[in-house]
Structure formats: structure tokens, C-alpha cells
Structure 1
Amino acid sequence: MQLAQLNIATAKDDLDSPLLKDFVDNLDPINAIADASEGFIWRLKDDTGNATDVQAFDNPRMIVNLSVWESLASLQHFMFKTHHIDIMKRRAEWFDKSPLATYVLWWVEDGHVPSTAEALERLELLRKHGDTAQAFSFKKTFSAEDALQR
């Protein structure tokens, strides 16, 4: 099994605004790091090479990041041990804080590419039920074996 992750955020302004310039300028470098990371399998992207134009919500300022990784460890390494962490630390500059969970992790069959609809269903599961083997966060992770034992 492989690990899928969804992360959503509502930008404080339009992506072409001066406020979000540093964020947008770092998209390609961060995506390149992800693409080259050990354990990276797939990420949602459009013709520009990123997912900022993918409209999964009515609000055009809501952006989505969806990817698949070989393991929890490979995703954690990318997120917390590369330049990605520097960008994450600045999240509050660019995105509204949400009282609800804004990311979710779940296990998928090898080769499965999750849709945004599927990913949003998993996020809703996490929001309603907390961490479970079907939808979890870094606060309480589950193994692929846990996910198979529905």
C-alpha cells in the first residue's frame, strides 16, 4: 500500500498578489524537491506543473495539494527535512487559519491515484471522527495493515 495526502488552504489574497509572491515563487522549487524525493510517487498538477489552478472548491482562493508516497517516512522526510519546512513555517503569512483539519493522510492500493473528491471525503472523515485507520493526521498515524483491517 501507498500513502496519500491531501492538504488544503485558503489564501489570504489572490495568488498573483504581492502578498503571495514568495509562496508562488517557491512552488516550482518545492515541487522539484518533491518530485526528486525518495519515495515520491505522484502529485496532482495541471499544465503549469503545479495544482494552483485546480478548482476543487467554489472559493477560488482555496488551493489543494494532493500526492502519493511510498511510505509515511518518505512523506515526513520531504515535509520536515527539506526546504519544504521553511515554507511551512511561513504558512500563516499567506493562508487563513482554519479551526478544522486542513490535511489528511490515508493508505491507498499500490498504483491508485486518488481524485480530489476522494481526498475531500477522507478529510471529511477525519473532521467528523478524528484519527482513524481510514483518515488520519501526523498526530496519530496508522499503518497500512491497520487500514486493511476495516
Structure 2
Amino acid sequence: MQQPDGHHLAELNVGRLLAPTDDPRVAEFMGALDRINGLGKRMPGFVWMMVGSGEPGTGNTEAKIGGDPQFVSNLTVWEDVTSLETFVWKTVHKQFYDRRAEWFEVLGEMHFVMWWVPAGHRPTLDEALERLDLLRSAGASERAFDWAWLEEATAWRDRQCRVAAE
């Protein structure tokens, strides 16, 4: 699928922490949020990130999904697939991705979705969760997709990313 003219790529990644955000079992992850998010914001092609209160070390962990304080989300917008792919798979972010089992539960269902948004649009968490539900219920389409849907995305294949929930 080609990127539509005048559009950017939005992505939502959802996870459920193994423990509350102030628990020592997730302290290393929580302690790295500002560094990793800051790196993302400085990457070429970065457009926007949903942010929380701005309290150091919290990222966007205040945005609860379904009222569950251990569900955390990352919602960003990128100029294109290559920009997001570079950040996810070719920076220190990849080291944290590889260690996700240390901090996150296995959800048993798709927890990542991408979709095109008009340039300048800032998706809400509700909008993003609707896209995730669409991907879960109907599979990949032009309205909600994963890495496999994008022909130009190759780094996830090279780095053994599984499309299905882990």
C-alpha cells in the first residue's frame, strides 16, 4: 500500500505492564521512557506524540485504557513508514523492544496498529483504539494495518518481528 499524498502515518502500540508503574519490576522500563521518547521526538520524520502530564519518568502512562492503570499506550505520527521503521528497529528503541517480555504481559491479541492520517491531524486515543479494534476484528485493510501490510516496510522482517500478538 502506498502512502496517500498529503498524509502521515499514525501508530498505536498498547501494552499491559506486569506491575504498577511504581513497582521495582518495571522500574528500568519506566526510567528509560523519557530517554526513548526524547530520542523519538528528535528523529527525522517525527511529527507528533501523545504526551501525558509531563512528569519525568511517566511518559504517557497516565492515559488509562479501560480504567486499568497497568495498560499503557504509545500514540505517534510520522511523516512516513521509513521514519517510523528507522526509529523502531534501528535505534536503542530496539533494545527495549527485545526486552519487552521483562516488563509486559503477553496480551494474546494484536496490540499494534497503523493508519494514514491527513497531515496536521493529531489522533486521539479513542480514535486509535477504534483502529486497533478494526484491525483485530476485520484484519488488515487501508483503514487499519500492521507492518506486513506495507510493502516498503522491511526492517520488521529482518529483525524477526512477529505480526501476531506475542
CA distance in 1, matches of 2:115, 2:91: 22
TM score, norm. by length of structure 1: 0.91
* 1:83 equivalent among 62, 81, 92: 92
Letter in 1 for 2:68: N
Aligned-residue CA RMSD (Å): 1.3
Gaps (5+ residues) in structure 2?
Answer: 1-6, 153-166
Runs of 4+ more than 2 Å apart: none
Q: Per-residue CA shift, 1:54-104, capped at 9, x if unaligned?
A: 123221100011000000110000000000000000101111111110010
For 1:111, what is the secondary structure of its paired residue? Answer: coil
CA distance in 2, matches of 1:3, 1:117: 17
CA distance in 2, matches of 1:125, 1:34: 26
Gaps (5+ residues) in structure 1?
Answer: 144-150
1:130 CA displacement: 1.1
The residue that corresponds to 1:136 in the other structure is 145
* 1:3 equivalent among 9, 27, 30: 9
**% identical aligned pairs:** 36
Question: In the TM superposition, what are the counterparts of 1:61-72 in structure 2 within 5 Å?
Answer: 61-72=70-81
For 2:61, what is the secondary structure of its paired residue? Answer: coil
Letter in 2 for 1:64: S
CA distance in 2, matches of 1:138, 1:6: 12
CA distance in 2, matches of 1:116, 1:21: 25
Count of residue pairs brought into register by the alignment: 143
Letter in 1 for 2:125: T
